Amino acid sequence: MTTDAAGIEAVFRAEYGRAVSVLIRLLGDIDLAEEAVQDAFTTAVAKWPETGTPPSPAGWIITTARNRAVDRLRRESSREARHAEAVRLHAPDETAEEGPVRDDRLRLIFTCCHPALAPQAQVALTLRLLGGLTTPQIARAFLVPEATMAQRIVRAKAKIRDAGIPYRIPRDADLPDRVDGVLAVVYLVFNEGYGGRADLCTEAVRLGRLLVELMPDEPEALGLLALMLLIEARRPARTSGDGDLVLLADQDRSRWDRGLIAEGQDLVRRCLRRNRPGPYQIQAAVNAVHSDAPTADATDWDQIRRLYDQLMALAPSSVVALNRAVAVAETEGPGTALALVEDLDLAGYPAFHAVRADLLRRLGRTGEAVEAYDAAVALTESAPERAHLERVRAALAKS
């Protein structure tokens, strides 16, 4: 059975992070590992349409990448170094390293989140290596220009190389210093997936469960897992049968995954008992309130606004303020909310323009609302979200 381009792309999405993680452990060189895995996928594009997908696609990619790395080392190394490196790469995988992290992909995240790297570089590099995200995708997640993000990733790789930061399992004592970066990475992987790549959501939830096992007493790890589960529970209702985006207020709540909701709510209750609130726990609590409401009209928006007040006190940001304004619109009206939104510096953030457009629409300021929808459409990368905004804008322009 032959394999088409879509099938190879699916394998890339599912296995790229695992393959790169394994190759980095074997090679100790990030750039060489990335190039070897990319070469292996290039070979797959040439061969699999004729030969079909191998029984173990991940194993084929890793073996082919290792062979490509050996070939390159033989071409570029001295005789002694070439012989030693080739022997090491062709040897069976070593016994699993002892320590608290035994998953290659999770270990890669902790390595990239070494305190010697700037926090934003930690997250960007891990998104690149683990999820195979492109530089433009990562730049969009950070709301920075592509050139800025490219420089950030190059500098992070150079820092790891020049500082001799090892790819190894961190000791228990190292975990607290790296937890913030690791949690941020996992959540950004999840958010990127929620924009259209379900495989990244699955991977982020898997990593979230591993983090909870690794750090059972870390409430923010519990909060992050709860947050992802509660959001993921709504995926079945997020699109219509035709693939159109369905907003939260319009979703058929009978389609929500009640198993994920129950698990997420239980984790939120565990967080509350610890009484050590943090940003992920509060966001999880917000989503727990949404999941409690049998209908959109029954949503306790006052409680959500209070939770965003608490989040603004703990971790203030323009994006949090924007989300708080959405709750204010439901409790105090769109006029009050719009005054809050207009003060935010989020011109490059599509959700800012979408929220502003909706508030203007509710206030009857149709012309301004249409212009705001135009700005949101121009910035939105997700095809379903862009199509939804275009439909709302078109309907508004006709009214």
CA within 13 Å, CB half, 59: 5
Query: φ, ψ for residue 239 (rounded to 5)?
Result: -130, 150
Beta carbons of 171 and 99 less than 8 angstroms apart = yes
Sign of torsion over alpha carbons 368, 145, 320, 213? positive
- Note whether 61 and 37 are within 8 A (CB): yes
pTM score of the predicted model? 0.74
Neighbour count for residue 228 (Cβ, 10 Å): 29
Quick check: 385 and 357 in contact, CB under 8 A? no
Task: Please give the backbone phi and psi of residue 245, each rounded to the nearest 5 degrees, phi first.
Answer: -65, 135
Q: What is the pLDDT along the chain (399 residues), one digit of tens a residue?
A: 456 777 888 888 778 888 888 888 888 788 888 889 988 988 898 888 888 888 888 889 989 998 888 888 887 765 555 555 555 555 444 433 334 445 677 778 777 888 888 877 887 888 788 777 788 878 877 778 999 999 999 998 888 888 887 766 567 777 777 788 889 888 988 887 887 778 778 888 988 998 898 788 899 999 999 999 999 999 999 988 888 899 999 999 999 999 999 999 999 999 999 999 999 999 999 999 999 999 999 999 999 999 999 999 999 999 999 999 999 999 999 999 999 999 999 999 999 999 999 999 999 999 999 999 999 999 998 888 999 999 999 999 887
Q: Which amino acid is at 28?
A: G
